[in-house]
Amino acid sequence: MLNIAFIAHDRKKDEMVNFVIAYEQAFVSHKLYSTGTTGTRIMEQTNLQIQRFCSGPLGGDQQIGALVAQNEMDLIVFLRDPLMAQPHEPDITALLRLCDVQGIPVATNIATAELLVKALVRGDFSWRELVHKYKPGVDQ
């Protein structure tokens, strides 16, 4: 079971909901997280249970970032709107930087999201199970 987060800017929420509907069976056996409204909209349209955080501008990106910093997030689908200025852009940049630091796969558009979910279905994320099993600082 992997930890997967969904984040979508306002003009990308419909696209995110449609994406998750299309791949619902791929996500059903994983622990799912999301920022507030995105998670609510996904749960209204699917049978998935999602742990929701605050909306992005109110700290949701940072809450997910905290899991990334602890290397507890395995995959993030973050559908960004590159044509709209975001008031919490520093939080977004920090989250993406943390993903790079921890080596967490993150999709910022639907094309990359589809590639990552296909890899998830194939089992290409089994290396993340090793990360969870052998966390530094945890007694073996």
| Nearest residue to 48 (alpha-carbon basis) of 40, 57, 59 | 40
Is residue 140 scored above 50 in pLDDT?
Answer: no
What mean pLDDT comes out for the span 95-119? 95
Q: Give the Å distances, CA to CA, from 33 to 39, 44, 65, 84, 132.
A: 7, 15, 12, 24, 17
Q: What is the pLDDT, as a whole number, of residue 139?
A: 47
Domain ranges of the chain: 3-133
Question: Which residue type sits at 60?
Answer: G
pLDDT value of position 136: 60
pLDDT at 135: 66
**pTM, entire model:** 0.90
Write phi, then psi, for 81 (nearest 5 degrees). Answer: -105, 100
Residues 7-46 have pLDDT tens digits of 999 999 999 999 999 999 999 999 999 999 999 999 999 9
Catalytic residues: 61
pLDDT 10s digits, 54-100: 988 888 889 999 999 998 999 999 999 887 777 777 788 899 999 99
DSSP 55: -
Q: Which CATH architecture has domain 3-133?
A: 3-Layer(aba) Sandwich (3.40)
What SS3 state is found at 122?
helix
Is the pLDDT at 133 greater than 70, yes or no? no
